[in-house]
Amino acid sequence: MTDEPLHPVNGLDEVVHQRVRLGILTIAHEARRAEFGYLRAQLDLTAGNLSKHLSVLETAGLIEIEKGYAGKRGRTWISLTAAGDTALAEEVARLKQLIARVETGQPRRED
């Protein structure tokens, strides 16, 4: 066994790291509260696909879903929980570690 720390990729969270879910968390972080239709348009998803990803994030405790009305139209808003904010920050930190390794690492060997 080695005393070297594990590679940063080992710390990536499978729930957060998935492309669509990372996008949802990032938009929710930027906006503080994002409307379902806005997320669907920004991430180029079907309503059903977005709903499935939101369900995964809600089950993990990373987002809160609020249903209500804007005028007579039903609306759904998504916001980060404290756990979601922490998970996003940790994911970004791991990604920065990976980028640093690529940018400062030795050139690849030509076999």
pLDDT at 11: 85
pLDDT at 1 over 90: no
Q: Where are the alpha helices (DSSP H) in the chain?
A: 14-17, 19-31, 36-43, 47-59, 82-104
pLDDT grade for 9, boundaries at 50, 70 and 90? confident
Question: How many C-alpha atoms does 3 have within 13 Å on its Cβ side?
Answer: 0
pLDDT grade for 49, boundaries at 50, 70 and 90? very high
> Which is higher by pLDDT, 58 or 3?
58
Indicate the DSSP class of residue 106.
P
| Dihedral angle sign, alpha carbons of residues 49, 56, 5, 29 | positive
pLDDT at 2 over 70: no
**Model pTM score:** 0.85
pLDDT grade for 111, boundaries at 50, 70 and 90? low
74 near 36, Cβ under 8 Å? Answer: no
